[in-house]
Structure formats: structure tokens, C-alpha cells
Amino acid sequence: MRGQDSFLDGSPRTTGRLAIVGIGNPLAGDDGAGPAVVEALRARFGKPPGVLLECLDGDLFAVVELLPRARRFIFVDAVIGSPPGEVIHRATGPALLAPSLHQADIGAVMTALAALEVVAPFPGWEVWGITISPPHELVEELSPPVARAVAELAQELARLLKIEGQHPGEVS
């Protein structure tokens, strides 16, 4: 039997109360919006204590490696929607947002991992999205409306970190 605050193998959770995880492929233009938000937070705060800033650009089930490291997760992902550059806040549960560009959406992945009880207790989580048009070519730049939304969402998450008492030190 696992403890109240342990991973499947019985090891304790070790770091971080909050994880902000950017999902997407920076080589696919606007699909890289999630990682761009995380990079903006890293540029502003460095490695803030009590906050895990990570990116997933491939297999979303790799999140299982992050689960023991935080009690709450905010996933930031690009979602197909119109107009591009709209911020979608705090969606939770399976089939969270409009079509995912990944093999499985993070809501389905988290629901499956919770059912498997890979972490006890399972962390809270939500998905914040930025709407994009479907990518048609490999390009590293974000479109102007998505770049504005990335800046807006990074600013909002920075305020959230301060409000929730994470108090990350700003990098000058």
C-alpha cells in the first residue's frame, strides 16, 4: 500500500508545489505556444523555488515522470480555434479543449494516469490554452496574434505565482 504522498514505487514527492508545463512543438510555429509561455516565465524568474517549469514536446505520457514533483499542474497548450491568439482559461477534465495537435490530449492522459493511481494523492491539474490555426509548415516563429497571447498568458501566470505565495525572485 502506498503512502498518502508517494509515487507508485513508494518514493516521496520531493520538489515543487506547482508545475507549469508547456505542451507543443516549437518547430511547428504556433503549436509552440505552450513552450513559449514556459520560456517567458524562465526568462523572467529563472528557476523559482517551489515552482517547476517544464515542457513536453512529444509523448504526453512522459508527464508521469513529473507527477511526483508537484501537487498542482497547469498545462499550457495550443488548441485549434478561431480567431488565433485567444487565451482559454482553466479547463479541466477529459476532452478539455478543441482538437489537440498531439497523439492524445493532456486531459485524456491525466485521466488515464489518475485511473492507474500512479501517484497518491493524484495532483490537481488544469489546462490553459491559446487558440491557433492548424500549422501547415515547419517554422520556429509564432504568428503575431499568438505571440501576443503568449505574452499575456505568461504575465497572467506570473501574477498567479505571486498571488499564490510562490514569490519567485525576478531575474533582472
Task: Render pLDDT for 42-61 as a digit per residue (tens, 0 to 9).
Answer: 999 998 888 999 999 888 99
Q: 86 near 148, Cβ under 8 Å?
A: no
CATH number where 26 lies: 3.40.50.1450
Q: 90 near 121, Cβ under 8 Å?
A: no
Residue 70 lies in a domain: yes
Report the pLDDT value the prediction gives residue 137, as an integer from 0 to 100. 84
Residue 168 lies in a domain: no
User: Which of these, 126, 127, 129, 170, lies nearest to 149 by C-alpha position?
Assistant: 129
CA 115 to chain centre: 20
pTM, two decimal places: 0.83
What mean pLDDT do residues 153-169 have? 78
Q: 73 near 51, Cβ under 8 Å?
A: no
Distance, in Å, from the CA atom of 92 to the CA atom of 67, rounded to the nearest integer, reads: 17
pLDDT of residue 101 exceeding 80, the answer is no
How many CA atoms lie less than 13 Å away from 7 in the CB half-sphere?
A: 13
Q: What amino acid is encoded at 121 in this protein?
A: P
Mean pLDDT of the chain: 83
Residue 166 lies in a domain: no
Q: How far is CA 75 from CA 10, 23, 66, 130, 153, in A?
A: 25, 7, 12, 11, 12
Residue 151 lies in a domain: yes
Taking the CB of residue 120, how many other CB atoms lie within 10 A of it? Answer: 16
Residue 172 lies in a domain: no
Provide the domain count of the chain.
Answer: 1
Instruction: Please give the residue range of the domain that contains residue 83.
Output: 6-161
Distance, in Å, from the CA atom of 11 to the CA atom of 68, rounded to the nearest integer, reads: 8
Task: Render pLDDT for 10-46 as a digit per residue (tens, 0 to 9).
Answer: 444 444 589 999 999 999 999 999 999 999 999 999 9
